[in-house]
């Protein structure tokens, strides 16, 4: 069976990393994956392309000149024909639109990776409902997102399947080089917390900065690293200045060595206001790091409160600070939580489990369309 994944990408973030892992896992299920990447010619996803090539997953690039570039549809169809795709698996709004239109009679499976706020827009809801009607199955990456697809997008529950992301913890550990970040920042022994993600409103980093100011009132030597970039960077840097914590906040920009950053942290902080899944949490669990996260969206499905981490209300810098201090003041508790997180990852969030469940979805969907059976 051949599955063509259609999605837009400008780099290598959570959903793209997921697709690379999924493609590897599907090989063991006898399924060949092709990545049809919709690209902005000014922002080529070079890191993603290289990673796909390294693991032997074929990639095909289709240029999008604007968000409604319907000229991309026949280009996608030509690729689908050339690889003899049985399943067209679409991801994110651009992939759903152009991939579904290009699929023709082929089986369409769609994945929802985030409960983006733009999906509440009336026009977007009408579009996504139409596209969902063309799909055999909608895969939601969390129970929270499955509820969103049902309640906001109006998709029939029987069409929705929940499949969590998976991660190979040994891969993450193998990439982690302990001590590099602390040496880079010259903070060998200071308490160090960190966050990873795009610098956007969704990630809630403003509240993390406010929390750090409170933490520093009690633990003056505490430092924070933020790995990522985005439109909020200047505003966040200005906020750190206004809170008088600029010397303790390290904006690292985009990094390709996230495991080496995480291995040096005392805790990962995920202050998101909403979150489709939060693959970064699995990476922290792979490295046996405790997590402090907002109790929103999928995060409570991943983090077991008081077992593998601490959950706090979103947009609550005081609660965030209290939980961070809780871990910094009790290293033994933090270590135990991290170890339990690693055990939970190995049980609940494996690539094998993720790939097997996708394979079942593909085979069941394809069996309903005789001309495209594997």
Per the structure block, which two tokens stand in for 264?
Answer: 């040096």
8 A C-beta contact, residue 274 and residue 192: no
pLDDT at 371: 56
pLDDT level of residue 370 (50, 70, 90 thresholds): low
* CATH class of this structure's domain 2-166+350-372: alpha beta
Q: CATH homologous superfamily for 169-348?
A: Glycogen Phosphorylase B; (3.40.50.2000)
Q: What is the pLDDT of residues 66-88, one digit of tens each?
A: 999 999 999 999 999 999 999 99
Give the separation between CA 218 and CA 230, rounded to whole angstroms. Answer: 30
DSSP 8-state symbol, 246? G
**Domain chopping of the chain, boundaries:** 2-166+350-372, 169-348
368 pLDDT band, cuts 50/70/90, is: low
Q: For residue 203, which of 13, 3, 4, 5 has the smallest C-alpha distance?
A: 13
Query: Which DSSP state fits 203?
Result: G
Residues in the chain: 374
pLDDT at 313 > cutoff 70: yes
Residue 11's pLDDT is what?
86
Q: Say how far apart CA 161 and CA 126 lie, in whole Å.
A: 21
Asked whether the domain spanning 169-348 has the same topology as the one spanning 2-166+350-372, the reply is yes
What stretches of the chain show up as alpha helix (H) in DSSP? 14-27, 46-54, 72-83, 92-103, 122-133, 143-151, 169-175, 180-185, 205-218, 233-242, 258-262, 279-286, 299-302, 317-329, 331-348, 351-366
What is each CA distance from 168 to 238, 285, 349, in whole angstroms? 38, 11, 9
Q: What does 132-162 look like in DSSP terms, one character per residue?
A: HHT-SEEEESSHHHHHHHHHTS---GGGEEE
- Give residue 373's pLDDT: 45
Q: Which two tokens stand for residue 196?
A: 């990873």
Which tokens sit at 201?
């409103």
d(C-alpha 185, C-alpha 187), whole Å: 5
HEC secondary structure over 24-77: HHHHCCCCEEEEEEEECCCCCCHHHHHHHHHCCCCEEEEECCCCCCCCHHHHHH
Question: How far is the C-alpha of 352 from the C-alpha of 167, rounded, in Å?
Answer: 9
DSSP state for residue 316 in the 8-state scheme: -
Buried b (16+ CB within 10 A) or exposed e, 20-45: bbbbbbbeebebbbbbbbbbeeeebb
* Mean predicted confidence (pLDDT) in 129-140: 96
pLDDT at 305 over 90: yes
The model's pLDDT over 233-281, given as tens digits with 9 standing for 90+, comes to 999 999 999 999 999 999 999 998 999 999 999 999 999 999 888 889 9
Name the pLDDT band for 367 (thresholds 50, 70, 90). Answer: confident
């Amino acid at each position: 069976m051949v599955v063509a994944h259609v999605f837009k990408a400008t780099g290598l973030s959570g959903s793209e990393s997921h697709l690379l892992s999924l493609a590897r896992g599907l090989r063991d299920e006898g399924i060949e994956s092709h990545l049809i990447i919709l690209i902005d010619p000014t922002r080529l996803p070079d890191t993603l392309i290289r990673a796909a090539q390294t693991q032997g997953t074929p990639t095909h690039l289709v240029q999008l000149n604007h968000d409604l570039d319907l000229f991309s549809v026949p280009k996608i169809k030509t690729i689908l024909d050339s690889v003899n795709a049985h399943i067209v698996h679409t991801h994110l709004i651009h992939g759903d639109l152009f991939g579904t239109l290009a699929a023709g009679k082929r089986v369409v499976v769609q994945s929802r990776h985030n409960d983006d706020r733009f999906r509440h827009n009336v026009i977007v809801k009408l579009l996504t409902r139409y596209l969902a009607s063309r799909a055999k199955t909608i895969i939601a990456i969390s129970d929270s997102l499955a509820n969103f697809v049902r309640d906001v997008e109006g998709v029939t529950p029987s069409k929705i399947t929940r499949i969590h992301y998976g991660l190979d913890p040994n891969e993450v550990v193998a990439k982690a080089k302990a001590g590099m970040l602390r040496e880079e920042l010259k903070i060998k022994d200071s308490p160090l917390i960190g966050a990873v993600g795009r610098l956007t409103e969704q990630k809630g980093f403003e509240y993390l900065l406010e929390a750090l100011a409170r933490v520093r009132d009690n633990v003056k030597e505490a430092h924070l690293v933020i790995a990522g970039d985005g439109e909020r960077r200047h505003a966040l840097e200005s906020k750190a200045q206004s809170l008088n914590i600029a010397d303790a906040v390290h904006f690292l920009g985009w990094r390709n060595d996230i495991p080496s950053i995480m291995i040096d942290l005392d805790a990962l902080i995920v202050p998101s206001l909403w979150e489709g899944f939060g693959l970064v949490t699995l990476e922290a669990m792979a490295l046996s790091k405790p997590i402090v996260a907002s109790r929103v969206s999928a995060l409570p499905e991943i983090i077991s409160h008081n077992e593998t981490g601490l959950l706090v209300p979103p947009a609550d810098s005081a609660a965030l600070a209290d939980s961070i201090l809780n871990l910094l003041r009790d290293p033994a508790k933090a270590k135990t939580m991290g170890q339990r997180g690693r055990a939970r990852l190995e049980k609940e969030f494996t690539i094998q489990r993720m790939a097997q469940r996708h394979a079942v979805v593909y085979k069941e969907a394809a069996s309903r369309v005789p001309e495209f059976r594997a």
